Every structure is written in C-alpha cells, then in structure tokens.
C-alpha cells in the first residue's frame, strides 16, 4: 500500500473470515509491510460481544503505533435467523443480535483501536459495511435488521472520523462495501447478483483504501461514493 510508510503495522479484526483472511494474505505480500496482526475469536480471543476482550487485544498492541486498521467483521445470519422479508418477521432479540455484531462490536473496535493509529503520518482505518446499509439507496425494502445495523455502523464511522480528526489529523477512516463476495455469509442470498472471490474483493478493498483522500466516507470496493 503506497499510502502507508515503509514497515507499516496493520491489524485485521475478523481475520478468520473469508474476506478478513484474504486481506491478511494481501497485506503480508506488500513490499513495504512490517507487521500484520490477525485477530478474531479463534486467533487472539477477540470477541465483539465482550468489550473486555476487545480492550485486551488493543492493549497488547501498545508500543509501536498502527498504520492500518481493518475491521472485517459482520453477520447476516445469526443463530439460524436470516434477514427478514417484511416487517411482520421482525424479532426483537434477533434484531438486537444483529446490532451487537454489526454496529456495537465495530464501535468497540473504534473505541479501543483508533486511538492507537499513527499520529505522525498517514494512517487508515476501514470498516466493512454494506450497500444495503444506505438509506438513500434503499429501493427494495426488507432485511430490516441487517440494513439498520449497517446504517448504524456507517454513522459510527462518520462520527468517529470527526472525533479522530482532532487528534490524528492525517488519519483517514471509511466504511467500505466489499461487493457480493463468495463467502458463507452471502452464499444463500447472492441469487443472480454478480459475485467476486474473497481474494479479488480483498485486493479491491485495499486498493480503495489506499486511494482514500478524505476521511469519513462511505464507498464501494471500486472507490465510488455511496449515498448515506
């Protein structure tokens, strides 16, 4: 990644997932990479539902500042419940679980990891969102809990970018839609939509992050802006 310094230090949260693991592979292949820390429940014991584990994982990274944070977490189907097709299908407990994983968890990542970004040079933080989290682009309805949780994530990213700009003026933060990726999360719902491999998605996501020139944006994997 040309926007990051030689020997850059990156952390990938959600590194055991399809996209997260592919991002780790691509980062480790960068010529200017220094260190890539892969975190997940199975590697590093980071559980988004437990703030103590998020805080502990961030604390272990104290010392050298971070140049790149990738939050590659998210869930569409939780405990066997997929996205709703109508308001009649809303279940409050299932909805809360969506918000916990897709919004509260990344908010805790922002709380504990963003302050560790490099203050002396360009640093980047990206959070995987989804186009269906766009309010302005919602033309089909349905998927109420997932849409709403991703819309909440977008607001968290936007708000965090404003706060962080006061202490880390060179930091760039964005919510990124990865496309419809061939992973276990999207497989049951991809339908006729064109899909991309996790490897191709990871390459595109990192390229889009590398080209960011403004903080607090919601973009697609191709770098194009998406309506909030």
> How many structural domains are present in the chain?
1
Q: What pTM did the predictor assign?
A: 0.94
On whether residue 121 sits in a domain, the answer given is yes
pLDDT per position as a tens digit, 13-60: 999 999 999 999 999 999 999 999 999 998 889 999 999 999 999 999
CATH number of the domain enclosing 78: 3.40.50.720
- From start to end of the chain, where are the E strands? 8-13, 33-39, 68-71, 123-128, 171-177, 217-220
228 within a domain of the structure (yes/no): no
| Confidence at residue 186, expressed as pLDDT on a 0 to 100 scale | 63
Domain that holds residue 34: 8-220
The parts of the chain modelled with pLDDT lower than 50 are none
Euclidean distance between the first and final Cα of the chain, in Å? 27
CB atoms within 10 A of CB 180: 18
Within a domain: 40: yes
| Per-residue model confidence (pLDDT) at position 187 | 63
Contact call for residues 3 and 122 (beta carbons, < 8 A): yes
Tokens 């990871």 locate to: 202
């Amino acid at each position: 990644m040309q926007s990051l310094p030689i020997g850059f230090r990156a952390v990938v949260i959600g590194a055991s997932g399809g996209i997260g693991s592919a991002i780790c592979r691509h980062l480790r292949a960068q010529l200017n990479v220094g260190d890539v820390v892969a975190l997940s429940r199975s590697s590093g014991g980071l559980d988004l539902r437990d703030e103590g584990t998020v805080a502990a994982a961030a604390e272990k990274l104290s010392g050298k500042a971070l140049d790149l944070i990738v939050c590659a977490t998210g869930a569409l189907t939780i405990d066997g419940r997929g996205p709703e097709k109508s308001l009649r299908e809303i279940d409050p407990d299932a909805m809360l679980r969506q918000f916990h994983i897709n919004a509260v968890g990344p908010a805790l990542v922002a709380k504990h990891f963003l302050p560790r970004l490099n203050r002396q040079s360009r640093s980047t933080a990206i959070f995987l969102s989804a186009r269906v989290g766009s309010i302005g682009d919602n033309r089909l309805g349905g998927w109420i809990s997932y849409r709403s949780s991703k819309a909440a994530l977008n607001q968290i990213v936007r708000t965090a970018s404003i706060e962080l700009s006061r202490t880390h003026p060179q930091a760039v933060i964005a919510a990124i839609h990865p496309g419809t990726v061939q992973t276990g999360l999207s497989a049951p719902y991809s339908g006729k939509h064109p899909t991309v491999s996790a490897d191709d998605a990871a390459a595109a996501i990192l390229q889009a992050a590398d080209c960011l020139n403004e903080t607090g944006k919601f973009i697609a994997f191709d770098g194009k802006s998406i309506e909030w």
